Amino acid sequence: MTDTGDAVTSYWAAVETRDWDTFGALLAEDVVYEVPQTRERVRGRAAFTTFTADGFPGDWHITVQRVIGGEQAAATEIEFADAGVSQPGLTFFEFGPYGLISRITDYWPEPYEPPAGRAGLAERY
Amino acid sequence: MTDTGDAVTSYWAAVETRDWDTFGALLAEDVVYEVPQTRERVRGRAAFTTFTADGFPGDWHITVQRVIGGEQAAATEIEFADAGVSQPGLTFFEFGPYGLISRITDYWPEPYEPPAGRAGLAERY
């Protein structure tokens, strides 16, 4: 595991345990968080910590499925489970000085039906 | 750029140029491709090359936005543009012997409206 992989593993552990001090300590003060699907953006460690702590009420749980640690960047795949329903979350991280997370991009993909034209080319599971 | 980062950059270049020989040469013979959102699965280099070559008709283009190369794994973020509409594609790659791609997991997230409860916690862009 690389340093960036360790950092994002700690990030998700802090989210799962609602440990907002540890969470904030992993972030650059000017961190930028974006959700391209909703075009939401949050700027700054304080605002983003509040967004994460207060924006998702409920007794949800996170399981990290995959961590890819690169040079100054990382990606994760998580399972977000809430009230018996679970969905994947995909997150890209960029790192700045001091190994702090400077940019986070989150995706929350939902199920859809594939086009009929490729039905013969894949199995379903 | 790591070796895994190079390999997935070559993968997308081969898709963009419809160079199916180069594409196939990057894949393990028993590669497994999955789309969790549709629960589609394709097994094997030949079937997956056919799926990619024939399953997506049209004059689409791919722009690689982000590559994260890790140890025996990589992730990419692309923009898939077709007839003036573009959408993100997120792909996780695993590597096996000889540096060949052994597993590919694709996500195609679509726009959605955020829950009203967090409207005050983020800007929109």
Question: What would the pLDDT profile of A62-116 be if each residue is shown by its tens digit?
Answer: 999 999 999 999 999 999 999 999 999 999 999 999 999 999 999 999 999 998 8
Cα–Cα dist A123/B59, whole Å: 25
Q: Which amino acid is at A27?
A: L
**Is the CB of B32 inside 8 Å of chain A's CB atoms?**
no
In a domain? residue A104? yes
pLDDT at position B1: 47
**Is the CB of B5 inside 8 Å of chain A's CB atoms?**
yes
Provide the domain count of chain B: 1
pLDDT at position A50: 96
pLDDT at position B119: 83
Please report the number of interchain residue pairs, chain A to chain B, with beta-carbon separation below 8 angstroms.
145
Cα–Cα dist A45/A23, whole Å: 9
Q: Is A81 helix (H, G, I), strand (E, B) or coil?
A: strand
Answer yes or no: do B114 and A34 touch at CB < 8 A.
no
CA distance A11 to chain B (A): 18
Which residues numbered 75-104 in A keep a CB inside 8 Å of some CB on B?
Answer: 75, 77, 88, 90, 92
Answer yes or no: do A118 and B71 touch at CB < 8 A.
no
Phi-psi region of B20 (alpha: psi -120 to 50; beta: other; left: phi over 0): alpha
Query: CA dist B96 to A73, A76, B32, B41, Å?
Result: 22, 20, 12, 19
CA distance B4 to chain A (A): 10
In a domain? residue A115? no
pLDDT band for position A119 (cuts 50, 70, 90)? confident
**Is the CB of A125 inside 8 Å of chain B's CB atoms?**
yes
Of residues B26, B39, B36, B33, the one with CA closest to residue B103: B33
pLDDT at position B117: 82
pLDDT band for position A57 (cuts 50, 70, 90)? confident
Number of H helices, E strands in chain B: 3, 7
In a domain? residue A122? no
pLDDT at position B68: 97
Phi-psi region of A77 (alpha: psi -120 to 50; beta: other; left: phi over 0): beta
Tokens, residue A24: 């904030």
Write the CB contacts of A55 (distance below 8 Å, at least 6 apart in sequence).
B117, B118, B121, B122
In a domain? residue A124? no
pLDDT at position A2: 63
Residues in B touching A37 (Cβ below 8 Å): 109-112
CATH classification of the domain holding A27:
3.10.450.50
Range of the domain at A27: 3-110
Model confidence over B55-74: pLDDT tens digits?
A: 888 999 999 999 999 999 99
pLDDT at position B2: 63
Residues of chain B with pLDDT below 50 are 1
Write the CB contacts of A76 (distance below 8 Å, at least 6 apart in sequence).
A8, A12, A64, A65, A66, A67, A68, A90, A91, A93
Give the distance from CA B25 to its chain's centroid: 16
pLDDT band for position A117 (cuts 50, 70, 90)? confident
Answer yes or no: do A54 and B118 touch at CB < 8 A.
yes
In a domain? residue A82? yes
In a domain? residue A40? yes
φ/ψ (deg, to 5) at A41: -140, 140
pLDDT at position B62: 97
Answer yes or no: do B36 and A121 touch at CB < 8 A.
no
pLDDT band for position A56 (cuts 50, 70, 90)? confident
Tokens 């904030």 locate to A24
Instruction: Using CA coordinates, name the residue in chain B closest to A118.
Output: B55
In a domain? residue B32? yes
In a domain? residue B103? yes
> Who among A2, A66, A108 is closest to B109 (CB)?
A108
